[in-house]
Structure 1
Amino acid sequence: MSVVSSRVSSVSSIIKATGLRAQLKQCNRIQYLKLPEDIKGILCKAGSESKEYEKLIYSLKEGAIKDSDLAKFLSKARQCISLLDTRHELFVQIILRIQWTSKSAEVISVYKLFLQDLVCMQTLYIKTVINSLIHLFKSVEDNNAEHKPGEFKDKDIERLNHIHDILHKILEVIPMSSQVLLQSLASQFPYIAHGTYTHEIYIYALLQILNYAPQLRSDILSLIINRLTLLDVNIPRKEAKDDEEDDEMNDCTDETVDGDNPTTVNNDADKIKTAPLIVHTMDTCMELFLKYMHEFCFVDNALQIESLKILYIDILRAFETIILPTHASQYVQFIMFYICSFKAIVAETFTDWLWRKVIDPNVAPVIRQSAVCYIASLLATASFISNGLVKQTMSQLIIWIRNYINIQEYKQYIDDNMKSHVVFYSVCQAFFHLFIARHKEFVNSKNGMLFLQELDIPRIVTCRLNPLKICISEIVHSFADITSTYQLAYCYTIIENNERNQLPIFGMKTHLPVLISNFFPFESYTLQHSRQRIVSLFHSNVVEIDSRSIKSKE
C-alpha cells in the first residue's frame, strides 16, 4: 500500500469513527430554532435581567424560525399584548423587523392580527408600527434595473396590499392615527438620490392610500407635489434638452469654478452627475401622477364632474402653497395645466383665481408677477383655451394697465425707482406675450381687428413708465413687428430711443436692472415619457414661442 492511499484511508476511518461526516452534513442545513412555549411567563419577567427574555430576543433577531412555529408564537403573543408596556419596547421592535411579507399565508394572517391588536391595546406603539409599515413601501432591490414606467413587480404589489390592509384597519379603529401616518409618509419619502423605482413605487403606495382614506387626499397630494417640486428644481435648466446637454455641461463648469466657494463647485458637479437620474425619476413620477388624475376624474372616458371639483380644489391648494412661490420650475406646474384641460370651466376658474392674485395689492409683488406669467403662458400655449377667454383676459390686462398709467400720471411726479412698478411691467410683458401668441385669431376677422384697435395699444407704449424699456428685448421686438404690420402701434422710435439711452458712458452705470424674468411656465415640456399626455394639449404656435424663449435665455 502506498503512503498516499494509507493516509486517505486513515483520514476516512477517523471521520467515520468520530461522526464528523454527519456533523458536516448538518452544518449545511438551516438550523431552525424552537421558540419557548411559556411566552407570558417570559414577558412578565422582562426587565429583571431574565435570561429567558434575552434568549427569546436573540432567537427572534438572529435565529431561523419555521413558519409554522412563528405562526404559533405570534398567536400566543397576541394573548399577551396587554403586558407589552415600555419594558417590552425591544421585543416589539424585534417583531416589527421580521420579514413577514415573504412568509407563508398563515404567518401573514396572524402577523396582521397581532399588529392590529397591538395598536388598539397599546397606543404607545402606534408611531413605531406605522413607521415600520411605511418603511416597507420602498423596494429593497436594485433601483437601476430597467423597467417600464408604471409596471410594478408582482411581489411588490402583493407586499403593498398587505400593508394597506393593516393601515386601513388602523385608520378605521384609531382615526387620530392619521396625523401619525402623514408624518411618517413625509419623513420616509425617498431622497433625491434614491432610484427611480423607489420613488415610483412609494408614490404609487401613497396614491393607493387615497382609496380607503379619502380624508387624507389633500395632504397626501400636497406631499407628492412638494417632493416632485424638489426634484424639479434640482434638474439643470437645459438637462432635458438633448441638443443642449453639452452646452449645459460647459456653462456649469465655467461658471461654478470659484476658489472662494468650493462648495458651490461640488454641489453643481453633483447636480450634473445626478441630473439624468433625476430627469428619469421626474418623468416617471409625473406620468404616474398624471395617470392618477385622469383615472380619478374619468370613468369609461366619461368625465365625473364631482370628482373633478374635488381634485381641482386639492391641487389648487398645493399649487398656491408650493408651485406658485417656486422660482422657474420646469415641469411640476403641468399638473395644473393638465387638469385645466379636462373641462373649459376649470381653465376659466383657474385664470380668474390667478387674476385675483395679480390685482390684490396685499399679495407679495413676486407672487403677483408669477401669477400673471402663469396667465399669459396658459392662454398663449394651451389649445383648449377658447378665443373668448383670450379676449376677456386681454381686456382685463389692458384695462388694469391703463388704470395704473392714469393713476401714475395724475401724480405730481412718477417714482423713478423702477422696482416699485415691477407688477406693472410684468403685466405689460404678459400682455405683449399673449398678444404675440394669439393675435392671428383676431386679425383675420373684422370684429377681431376692431377689438385689437379698441385696446388702444399706443397709450401703453408711449406712457411715461415706458414698459418697452424694461420688458424682455425679444418680446418687445416681436410685439413691435406685429403691431407695426397691422398698424396698431409704432414702437420702433421708442425702442431706438431706449437703446440709445442705454449706450455705455464712461464713468456712469447706464445698464438697466433686471426687474422681470422671461418666465412663462407652460412653454415647453421635454420629459420623454410623460410628454405624451401634454404635447397634444399645446397650441400650434408653441414651437415658435419656445424657440424665441430659448434664444432669449442664451
Structure 2
Amino acid sequence: MEEYLSDNKVAANVRDALQSVARGDADNYDQLVEIMNHSEYLSDDEEAMLVTCLKALSRAVAVIDVDQHEKLLQSIFGMNMWKYRPHVLDALMDFITRLATSDAKYFDSSLQMLVRNFMPAISKSSVKKLNLPCGLAKKDHVLHRVNSTLVNITEIMPLAPRSLSPIISQRMPHISADEALMAVYVENMLRLESSTIGNLVGSEMLISAVVYRLVELVVEIGWDAIVQPEPSKGIFDVDDGFKLVNVKEVISIADKLDSLMVLTCQHLKSCAENGRLSEVFEALVHSFRFTVLNTHKSKFVQFVMFYACSLDPRKCGGQLATTFLNVFTCNSTGNPLITRMSAVSYLASYLSRGKFLDKTIIIDTLRSLLDWCLDYCSEEKTLNPEAHRLFYSGYQAAMYVLCFRMTEMLGDPKIYQFPLQLIFEHSLNPLKVCLPSIVEEFLRQARATSLYMASDKVSNNLLEADFSMACGGMERLDMFFPFDPCLLKKCSETFITPNYLFWSNVVLPYGDEEDFSAEEQIGD
C-alpha cells in the first residue's frame, strides 16, 4: 500500500509539473525533463525514478501539450532503448502506446522513435556487442518490445500502416552502414513481416524494401568486381571460374550482401515451416519482377527466389518458371525487348540449375517455349539476325536447358515430340546465331540420344560468332545466365548448394573419349 501511495504521489507531482508550465513555473517540469535526459549509466535509484515517472506520464497523457511540453517530448522521443533494462523498456513502451493513440499530433513522432530503435545508436561499442551473447539478449529484449508496441498501436489506429511503411523504408541504413547494424535493421523488418503487423503494413512492402536494398548492394559491387573465367573455357566449364576481386571495398559490400541474403533465406525457411511461404512468395515474385529482373546482370539477389522455390518445388517452383515464361512470351503486356530477353535468360538458367525441380515442370515449360519459337518461325520474317533477337534468345534458352537436363528427361516420350529440328532447320537458322558452345554441346548430346537426325539442310558455317554478336552480343544473348554459381559463401553453402545442379554433376549421354565436331555433325 505504501508503494501504491508513493506512486500515486509521484503521479500527482508529475501532473502538477506538466500543468505548472502554463503558469510560468517550470522548475519541477525541468527536473522531469532532466530525469528523461540521463545519458550515462543509471544507478538503481535513478532507474527506479525513471520507471516511476514514465508510469506517471502514462496516466497524465491527457494533460501533455505538444507546444508547452516540447522539451519533454523531444527527450522521450530521443531515448535510446538499447541502453535500458527490460522493466524500463516496458514502462517506456506503455507510455509511447498511450501517447501515440491519444492524439494524432504524436502519432508520427512515436512511430519514428520506434523505427529508429530497430538498431542501436551507431558507435563502435554498440556494433561490437551486437554479436556477443549480451548483445544478442539485448537485441531480443528491444526488438520484441518495439514490435509489440507497433502491433498494439496499429491495432488501435487502423491507418497506422500508411504512416509506418514510408518510415521503415526511409530509415533503412545506407549501404555504407556497418554490416551488423544493417543486418539487425533488416532482421527486424522480417520479424515484423511475420507478425500480425505484416498483414496490416503488407508483406509486399516489407519484402520489396528488403529486396531493393539487396539490389542496391549488387549495383554497388558491379559486374567489374567479378573476375571472369578464362576466355578459352567453354560456357559449361566455368562453374568455378567466377570469383570476386580481392579488393577490400568489394569484399566489405559482398559480406553485407551475404549476411542480408542469409537473413532473408532464414526468414523464408521460417515462413515455409509456418505455412506462410505461398503468401510471402507472391510478394517476392512481385518485387523480383519490377526490380531484379531489370537489374543488368544481377549475380546475387535472384538466389533468394531460387531458395524459396526449393522450399516448395511444385507450387513455388512451377510458379516462377511460369512467371519467367509469361514475361518472355506475352507481348500484350508491353514488356520491353530487354526485359523479355532477360526473362528467358532467367528461365533457362533456373530450369538448368534447380536440382529440386520436377521433370514434368521442366518438360512442360520447354514445350511451351519451343512452341512459341515454332509459331515465330511460321510468320514471314526478314533474314536479319538483329531483328530476331527475341527468337534467338528463346531457342538458345531451350538448348541450354537441354544441355543440362537431356539425359534425365529421356524416359519421357514428350521430349521426342519437341519441334527442335523443325526450328533449327528453318531459314532463320538459329544454330548459326546462338552461342557456339551451347550449339555444339546441344548437338553432341542430341546426336548421342537420337533426338534429331543429321540434315544436309544445315550448312557447315552455322557457328559464326559474328551473327551471335549481332543479336545482342556478349552483353545479353551470349553470356548472361543468372543462376551461374552463387559467389556469396555463407548463403551459397547453407541454402543454395544443396539444391543446385553443377555442370560437373550432369549425367552426359556420351563418353569422355568421344570426339565431336559440331561442323561435322550438322553436315557439309
Q: TM-score of the superposition, structure 2-length normalised?
A: 0.78
> Residue type matched to 1:382 in 2?
G
Contact in 1 for aligned 2:377/2:426 (Cα 8 Å): yes
Aligned counterpart, 1:208:
191
Contact in 1 for aligned 2:433/2:463 (Cα 8 Å): no
Q: Helix, strand or coil for the counterpart of 1:234?
A: helix
1:107-506 alignment, distance < 5 Å: 107-140=88-121, 141-142=123-124, 145=128, 153-209=136-192, 210-215=194-199, 216-237=202-223, 248=245, 272-298=247-273, 304=275, 307-346=276-315, 347-362=317-332, 363-409=335-381, 414=382, 416=384, 418-442=385-409, 454-485=417-448, 488=452, 494=459, 496=461, 499=464
Aligned counterpart, 1:68:
48
Which of residues 485, 489, 494 is equivalent to 1:528? 489
Contact in 1 for aligned 2:244/2:487 (Cα 8 Å): no
Partners in 1 of 2:357 and 2:156 — Cα distance?
47
Partners in 2 of 1:529 and 1:437 — Cα distance?
26
Partners in 2 of 1:202 and 1:340 — Cα distance?
25
> Residue type matched to 1:440 in 2?
T
Contact in 2 for aligned 1:329/1:521 (Cα 8 Å): yes
Contact in 2 for aligned 1:139/1:197 (Cα 8 Å): no
Q: CA deviation at 1:403?
A: 1.1
Q: CA deviation at 1:196?
A: 1.7
Which of residues 73, 76, 101 is equivalent to 1:95? 76
Pairs aligned (count): 468
CA displacement, residues 465-507 of structure 1 (integer Å, 9 cap, x when unaligned): 33234323332333344345556265996462663987xxxxx
**Percent same amino acid at aligned positions?**
19
Aligned counterpart, 2:500:
538
Aligned counterpart, 1:78:
58
Unmatched 5+ residue regions in structure 2? 1-9, 229-239, 508-524
Aligned counterpart, 1:6:
none
Q: Helix, strand or coil for the counterpart of 2:379?
A: helix
CA displacement, residues 60-109 of structure 1 (integer Å, 9 cap, x when unaligned): 44787722332333334334423333313332111222345534555333
Partners in 2 of 1:149 and 1:350 — Cα distance?
39
Unmatched 5+ residue regions in structure 1? 1-34, 250-271, 503-509, 546-554
CA displacement, residues 193-232 of structure 1 (integer Å, 9 cap, x when unaligned): 1122112211221122222323032221221122122222
Q: CA deviation at 1:46?
A: 4.7
> Residue type matched to 1:71 in 2?
V
Q: CA deviation at 1:233?
A: 2.7
Contact in 1 for aligned 2:432/2:461 (Cα 8 Å): no
Larger radius of gyration: 1
Partners in 2 of 1:441 and 1:325 — Cα distance?
32
Contact in 1 for aligned 2:471/2:477 (Cα 8 Å): no
| CA shift in 2, pair 1:73/1:512, >3 Å | closer
Aligned counterpart, 2:516:
none
Q: Helix, strand or coil for the counterpart of 2:221?
A: coil
CA displacement, residues 500-524 of structure 1 (integer Å, 9 cap, x when unaligned): 987xxxxxxx977536252222221
Moved more, 137-146 or 329-338: 137-146
CA displacement, residues 413-465 of structure 1 (integer Å, 9 cap, x when unaligned): x174x44422212101101211211122345x5x65xx555434343233333
Q: CA deviation at 1:137?
A: 1.3
Contact in 2 for aligned 1:71/1:106 (Cα 8 Å): yes
Contact in 2 for aligned 1:401/1:428 (Cα 8 Å): yes
**Structure 1 position 518 matched with structure 2 position 479:** yes
Contact in 1 for aligned 2:11/2:57 (Cα 8 Å): no
Partners in 2 of 1:246 and 1:338 — Cα distance?
21
Q: CA deviation at 1:335?
A: 1.7
Report the aligned-residue RMSD: 3.7
Moved more, 211-220 or 60-69: 60-69
> Residue type matched to 1:160 in 2?
L
Partners in 2 of 1:292 and 1:222 — Cα distance?
14
Q: Helix, strand or coil for the counterpart of 1:115?
A: helix
| CA shift in 2, pair 1:309/1:108, >3 Å | closer
Q: Helix, strand or coil for the counterpart of 2:380?
A: helix
Contact in 1 for aligned 2:225/2:244 (Cα 8 Å): no
Q: TM-score of the superposition, structure 1-length normalised?
A: 0.74
Q: CA deviation at 1:360?
A: 0.9
CA displacement, residues 9-61 of structure 1 (integer Å, 9 cap, x when unaligned): xxxxxxxxxxxxxxxxxxxxxxxxxx998544554465898664667656644
| CA shift in 2, pair 1:353/1:107, >3 Å | closer
